[in-house]
């Protein structure tokens, strides 16, 4: 058996995906902690894989996207120690097949590159790929499949934290949307503002992007908070929770063709 390990390292979590060829057979998520050593990450990875009944010799490779450079090396070392394989790190010099038409393509996050690659592989452009995590990002893909820009806004968690931090009367709340947009108490008022405000922002940005492009777009959302929000949006938005992992698999194929 020849399997591929994919790892998406974000600011909050690290999401692993295990592929048997192009089929994603399992996802695993652990917290991203800058205090953890490569050995500690290795122990977690080893435990998760053993629980699944998968042997280290089943893996032929690994590919990583990361927005936390400090953690990248530790995960790379952990993978080498536990699985005995080297990792491809998505970045300059790695073939992606994505034409990035922004002023400095090297500044585009590896996770966003992967999301756009996966979107282009599964849908016809133009598209808007919305990544909802620590930040909310709208990746705009034109009718030729080029990534032409990506407006960025604070994510839902950051917005809530900014509102409630150091404010005794505004306690932390969850992300459940209240039935009314007009809050009648503190909890409902915060949830109405944060959740429904994000919903309106998502819908409004889609309208403005489509108007600027002059074309209707297929819209895909991914990220930890996407499911919570898009069900309330007026636009039709497809949820793909594993979009980045699927993009990682595609990129690995482009760079290691014939090796797995």
Please identify which residue in the block is written with the tokens 């996966």.
Answer: 118
Strands 13-20 and 23-31, sheet pairing:
antiparallel
Kindly give, in sequence order, each residue whose CB lies less than 8 Å from that of residue 9, ignoring residues fewer than 6 positions away. Answer: 32, 64, 65, 66, 67, 68, 71, 72, 75
User: Is 8 a catalytic site residue?
Assistant: no
- CA 12/CA 46 separation, integer angstroms: 21
- Do 71 and 32 form a contact (C-beta atoms < 8 A)? yes
- CA 104/CA 111 separation, integer angstroms: 16
CA-based nearest residue to 34, from 6, 2, 68: 68
Residue of 8, 39, 77, 111 marked active site: 111
Indicate which residues carry an active-site annotation.
111
């Amino acid at each position: 058996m020849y399997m591929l390990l994919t790892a998406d390292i974000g600011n909050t979590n690290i999401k692993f995906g295990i592929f048997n060829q192009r089929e994603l057979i399992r996802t695993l998520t652990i917290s991203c902690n800058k205090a953890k050593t490569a050995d500690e990450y290795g122990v977690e990875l080893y435990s998760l894989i053993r629980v699944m009944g998968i042997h280290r010799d089943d893996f032929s490779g690994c590919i990583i996207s990361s927005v936390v450079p400090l953690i990248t090396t530790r995960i790379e070392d952990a993978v080498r120690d536990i699985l005995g394989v080297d990792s491809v790190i998505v970045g300059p010099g790695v073939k992606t097949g994505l034409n990035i038409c922004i002023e400095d393509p090297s500044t585009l996050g590896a996770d966003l590159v992967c999301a756009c690659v996966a979107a282009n592989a599964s849908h016809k452009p133009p598209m808007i790929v919305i990544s909802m995590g620590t930040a909310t990002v709208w990746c705009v893909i034109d009718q030729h499949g080029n990534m032409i820009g990506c407006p960025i806004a604070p994510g839902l968690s950051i917005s809530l934290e900014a509102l409630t931090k150091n404010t005794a009367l505004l306690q932390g709340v969850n992300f459940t949307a209240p039935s009314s947009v007009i809050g009648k108490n503190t909890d409902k008022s915060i949830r109405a503002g944060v959740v429904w405000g994000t919903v309106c922002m998502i819908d409004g940005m889609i309208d403005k992007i489509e108007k600027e492009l002059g074309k209707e777009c297929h819209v895909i959302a991914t990220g930890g908070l996407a499911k919570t929000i898009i069900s309330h949006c007026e636009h039709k938005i497809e949820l793909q929770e594993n979009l980045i992992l699927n993009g990682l698999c595609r990129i690995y194929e482009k760079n290691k063709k014939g090796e797995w």
